[in-house]
Amino acid sequence: AQSVAQPEDQVNVAEGNPLTVKCTYSVSGNPYLFWYVQYPNRGLQFLLKYITGDNLVKGSYGFEAEFNKSQTSFHLKKPSALVSDSALYFCAVREYGGSQGNLIFGKGTKLSVKP
Amino acid sequence: KAGVTQTPRYLIKTRGQQVTLSCSPISGHRSVSWYQQTPGQGLQFLFEYFSETQRNKGNFPGRFSGRQFSNSRSEMNVSTLELGDSALYLCASKEATEAFFGQGTRLTVV
């Protein structure tokens, strides 16, 4: 069965510093991987996805993610954090490794960026 | 294009009652999925509808049901509400590989 793990409940960084939010996955077949962000009392906003191709994926708001097949990881990164990046981040994998199937989410990582 | 619209945004219901939540997908999207978000269980898949047919179902009791109309709008219904049904219910419409989420309906069962 497909699964996603986000090993950190919370990540704290200072504004202007680089940030990394970790995600590892377990899938059979080729993974379809996603990152979403959730602000308080809001729905999920799509940040970026990896389907195939370049291992470094660029997304919204300056975020990027690196797909590493050998380490089965898909870490979210940003070179310079902003206070407004503080939110809950979810990594997800599509269940059947294709365009169909539901999303399986990690537990989420709370990112806190301090001025 | 308008985004995914969920109504109502907030609901308070009493145990034993039933509730219906509504979701209007992005125009042109035929797939609608529902997810439940709770602090303890995180985000869990409820069901997916495509062209008025349930295509996939998560591991929830039969009290949770849904349907999709010919205009792709979807509703989910929860009968005999329990305290544990209190959650944020999120709807997503899908085009190709990406899912776009609505703001959610916050259901509180008292």
In chain A, the percentage of residues whose pLDDT exceeds 90 is 77
| B101 contacts on A by Cβ (under 8 Å) | 36, 43-46
Nearest CA in chain B to A45: B101
Q: What is the pLDDT of residue A101?
A: 73
Tokens of A105: 């989410």
CB proximity B60 to A under 8 Å:
no
Distance, CA of A39 to CA of A92 (rounded, Å): 17
B43–A90 CB contact, under 8 Å: yes
Q: Say yes or no: B58 contacts chain A, CB-CB below 8 A.
A: yes
Q: What pLDDT sits at residue A28?
A: 81
Mean pLDDT of B83-98: 91
- Provide the pLDDT confidence category of residue A44 given band limits of 50, 70 and 90: very high
Per-residue model confidence as pLDDT tens digits over B27-86: 999 999 999 999 989 999 999 999 999 988 999 999 999 999 999 999 999 999 999 999
Mark A57-90 as b/e (b = at least 16 C-beta within 10 Å): bebeeebbbbbeeeeebbbbebeebeeebbbbbb
Which residues, in sequence order, are bridge partners of residue A56?
A66
B103/A contact by beta carbon, under 8 A: yes
Smallest CA–CA distance from B106 into chain A, residue: A41
- pLDDT at res. B94: 87
Give the gap in angstroms from C-alpha A108 to the nearest C-alpha of chain B: 8
Whether residue B96 is predicted with pLDDT greater than 80 in this model: the reply is no
